[in-house]
Structure 1
């Protein structure tokens, strides 16, 4: 077997590649209508398609990894991302770009699968630090990838972004193939195709309504109908999962108190993270004349928010040691408190660029500790045969939080805006409201973290303490 440190490094690079997909098109997002000769409503699908594909693929890929080998499914997801990148790179029109971006979204399942691989192949005293590192890539990739994408988009043809992602995916595919060992722990039985279809249909309906609700209208028949239909499908899906012999997800395991509370805290933590990614860049890039903006370019703004990713990277080895010393629950509590402080600081001090840098550093601490703790809590509470699916469900919970933040915070900023020249600029009250939402989500995560039992009879006896 290759050195364990090398295995961790390869999986960390895979995680960075995965999270980079979300910031890949941010620098050209505003220019997409012009570049693709399409309406702004249509080009919004370039982002929405990735979000939907990631949410649907992640829990399903986790179950497939438990059954057929986690490394094998990681390789499949990376191959799908490369194919999507090439399709987008060769496409002059919007249809090809949307298809390519949807295929790119599938690679998000690499992170929870990578975390599950660590449990299978690492020695017990190295697992926590390695999990913290892989978890950190979810934030680090986006924070560091944004300035890279901005530089490329500014100095080269925008298609180069997709060629870069294709090259990254190819390199990571080869590294995983050569270095990551084959998973020997498998779950028997047959794959639950009906359960996968039901979960996909329910999630697509709900997330589509959430992501497009501000455009269609939150009270429109289409939005309300999709939400209602999606919830009905998910309820029926849950009923079916509890009664089938070989379910896609074992909901009885997911209902264990530590697992359920951790996943609910993940939704709140994801909301708190993405609230900052929606509000801070807008504030930094708005013209000075608006009275609330700083007039920075996208590249300069990305350097202001980048410290959060750097903090997450530095924290990852520390998080693992702290988890062994005090337990992952304490890390989740500390992360939630740091997020409360970050948004509380912004409520009172957000008139200088350095103040937003401070807030983003605090967010880096919050997400670094929180994202490191959540998979540790999950894996201490589920049997080894369920780690892929359970980590996939936890990743889905974070995705639900980010989706809700994108929709709700975006709607608040749009509603509390006023005309400025030829643009609609959010007011100071709009940003205050977005920071208040961030605090609210962080408080919810904190309360849920405090309710997670430190030691539970529900924990699987074979799990490391």
Structure 2
């Protein structure tokens, strides 16, 4: 069961980096402009951010296995649409459908609480949670190899087959578990409000550099996001069965965990954005390493493997010392990894070592988030709470992409009539990665300990239901 859920999460996460190797070729492949081609990436980001918390809540209401199976449908359909596309609009639609499948990750994490014995829960959660990073780390070299030696359409046919295999595995391996929030209603106004607010916010973040950070469009979107998300928050507090229980989210343990997730994700994405460029920059610059697209992906691949290996160890560390300790260790390891990169960025081997260290830290940190979240919310909210944590990770990567992209675009040098990112620009971006990891560690250090006496009655009832379920499973 754990292997299937980790495989599902990894495949869903691969969708995020799937088009990276062919991004520069998309304008020619789809007969469109470079600006329009960027929507192929933006569409997946927007749709996944909107759908993940909604999917999580529906999993609590209707059953997590049922919703995981439902997530495979848009993954398969979106992959097929992309594989058959020759124009930008169908490709954007297909990529949006793929983004809907990202809800499998928090659903799989929440499902572990229902089906895995307590002694194996921490390591299982760590592996499935880290599958988001593993998919991103392994997806880049795999898609680079396919794009270089086969038709780009093979990328999407491959993901369609993977999603179909996952659907069959989920159906046959994962047991049916009663919905934790059965009988409650779905908060449609809350879903619409959150979706509209997130679209405005993420559009402003992801496209602000293209439109201009001071443009009326960007500022208008930021303003609309503040109004919509503020109104959504007021609604969620007043409604009986909210999409996201903001009272649970506001608990210091949950709130601080989500804050740390935001900064850890920023730190993770900085390496994914900076290091492939360093590897592929021309050696004539004096700091670029002149690697091909495929070679750059292969140098980065050990980072994804390290995350896979470290995640179960993080689970054991959580059992021994607690998830807060694991999160702090993860943030510190990420900071050390960026320090190694600053010292060794002049060689491909140095970058590979630094990626392995950084991703080891990400594996530790990502595995600790669900353990912190699920120990602090009732059983009826596990999928929704994990979905909200996944959303915070997505916001972290989005903000990281915008900030790091801005740094690299503005710290430039010129040679031969061309402008390109300077060595100081890359070093500043790597230093920002250290800073974000240190901030995450500082936040994690303030996460309060879990005290049974302070937990609400609903949480205690939920644990009683869980214990009864474990007794039935044992029988």
Q: For 2:408 and 2:133, how far apart are their aligned partners in 1? A: 23
Match of 2:285 in 1: 290
Provide runs of 4+ in structure 1 moved above 3 Å.
Answer: 419-424, 456-465
Are 2:159 and 1:165 aligned? yes
Q: Does 1:274 align with 2:272?
A: no
User: 1:208 maps to which residue?
Assistant: 203
Q: CA deviation at 1:421?
A: 4.4
Q: Is the 8 A contact 1:288 1:294 kept in 2?
A: yes
Q: Distance in 2 between matches of 1:422 and 1:92?
A: 34
**Superposed displacement of residue 179, structure 1:** 1.1
**Which of 28, 36, 54 is residue 22 of structure 2 equivalent to?**
28
* 1:415 partnered with 2:413: no
| 2:97 matches 1:111 | no
Matching of residue 194 in structure 1 with residue 192 in structure 2: no
- Which position in structure 2 is the counterpart of 1:156? 150
Distance across 1 between alignment mates of 2:127 and 2:337: 22
The DSSP-based 3-state class of the residue aligned with 1:392 is: helix
User: Aligned to 1:102, which of 74, 92, 96?
Assistant: 96
Write the mapping of 1:5-404 to structure 2, written as runs, cut at 5 A: 7-187=1-181, 188-404=183-399
Q: CA deviation at 1:321?
A: 1.3
Partner Cα distance (1:39, 1:256) in 2 = 46
Structure 2 residue runs without a partner (length 5+): 468-475
1:344 shift after superposition = 2.1
Supply the distance in 1 between the matched residues of 2:152 and 2:310 (Cα, whole angstroms). 33
Structure 2 CA distance, aligned partners of 1:193 and 1:458? Answer: 32
Correspondence for 2:470: none
Cα distance between partner residues in 1 of 2:418 and 2:337: 29
For 1:73 and 1:458, locate their aligned partners in 2 and report how far apart those are by CA, in whole Å: 33
CA apart distance, 1:403: 0.3
Structure 1 residues 432 and 81: alpha-carbon distance in aligned structure 2, compared to 1, 3 A threshold:
same
Offset at residue 355 of structure 1 (A)? 1.5
* Corresponding position of 2:472: none
TM superposition score normalised by structure 1:
0.96
1:222 Cα deviation after fit: 0.6
How far apart in 1 are the matches of 2:350 and 2:408? 20
Task: Classify the secondary structure of the residue corresponding to 1:424.
Answer: strand
- Once the two structures are TM-superposed, the CA of residue 290 in structure 1 deviates from its matched residue by 1.6
Deviations 1:238-273 (A, max 9, x none): 011000111111000000011000000000000000
Partner of 1:272: helix, strand, or coil? helix
TM-score by length of 2: 0.94
CA displacement, residues 189-248 of structure 1 (integer Å, 9 cap, x when unaligned): 211100000000000000001000110011111111101111110011001100011111
Provide the aligned C-alpha RMSD in A. 1.4
